[in-house]
Chain A
Amino acid sequence: DADVTQTPRNRITKTGKRIMLECSQTKGHDRMYWYRQDPGLGLRLIYYSFDVKDINKGEISDGYSVSRQAQAKFSLSLESAIPNQTALYFCATSEPGLAGDEQYFGPGTRLTVT
């Protein structure tokens, strides 16, 4: 079984709808991240969490919110989806190390907002 899972894998929704993307991990890592990937822009950090009580905004958090329900679960919500939030969304985890955090990624959720 995959260490980092994301649901749903694909989602089409309409402008103005609320949508939640879910991430679960079995790696036992404290740190979790949400990124979005857009062609030509690479990955950009939306939110990150160091533990259940520590949640921080990334570089593009506007229009998004998150919830860390447990060490293993980190959800991303779009309160009112808009078309420019159409993207590929990745959840990732990491464990603090002495030399940079190698990140472990889920398979991604492809979101289309019409």
Chain B
Amino acid sequence: AQSVTQLGSHVSVSEGALVLLRCNYSSSVPPYLFWYVQYPNQGLQLLLKYTTGATLVKGINGFEAEFKKSETSFHLTKPSAHMSDAAEYFCAVTPTNTGGFKTIFGAGTRLFVKA
């Protein structure tokens, strides 16, 4: 069965520091990969997604993620954290052999940004 593991339920960085949120998946076939962000009192919104092609994917708000097949990872990064990045981030996978709709979400990582 597919699964998604996000390392660290909480990550704290200083404003201006590198943001690194880790995500690993288990799948016999590379799935479609997503990062969603949830701001307080809001629903999730898509940050970026990997389907095929270039393994480095750029998203909104300066975030990017790199698909590494050999490591079954899809870590999210941002070179310089901003206070407005404080939110909860969810990694998600959609198996490619299920019609592309059954998304499995990780447990989430809450990002804190210190002034």
A102–B108 alpha-carbon span in the complex (Å):
18
* In the complex, number of A-B residue pairs with CB atoms less than 8 Å apart: 66
- Pairwise interchain contact B107-A41, C-beta atoms closer than 8 A: yes
Identify the stretch in A11-19, A67-75, A79-87, A90-98 within 8 Å (CB) of chain B at 4 or more residues: A90-98
> Which of A42, A90, A94, A106 contacts B101, CB < 8 Å?
A94
Interface string of B45-58 (1 = CB under 8 A from A): 11001011000000
The contact size tier of chain A is 20 to 34
A92–B109 alpha-carbon span in the complex (Å):
21
> Which of A42, A45, A107 contacts B42, CB < 8 Å?
A107
A90–B105 alpha-carbon span in the complex (Å):
13
**Which B residue sits closest to A43, measured CB to CB?**
B105
Q: Which chain A residues border B99 with CB–CB below 8 Å?
A: 96
User: Known interface pairs A100-B34, A102-B34, A108-B43. Does A42 touch B105 (Cβ–Cβ under 8 Å)?
Assistant: yes
Add 5 more A-B contacts to A100-B31, A102-B49, A107-B42 (CB < 8 A). Answer: A35-B105, A42-B105, A42-B106, A99-B52, A107-B41
Report 26 cross-chain contacts, Cβ distance below 8 Å, ordered by A residue. Answer: A4-B43, A40-B9, A41-B107, A42-B90, A42-B106, A42-B107, A43-B105, A44-B105, A50-B101, A90-B43, A90-B44, A92-B43, A94-B101, A96-B99, A96-B101, A99-B100, A100-B94, A101-B94, A102-B34, A102-B46, A103-B46, A103-B103, A105-B43, A105-B44, A108-B42, A108-B43
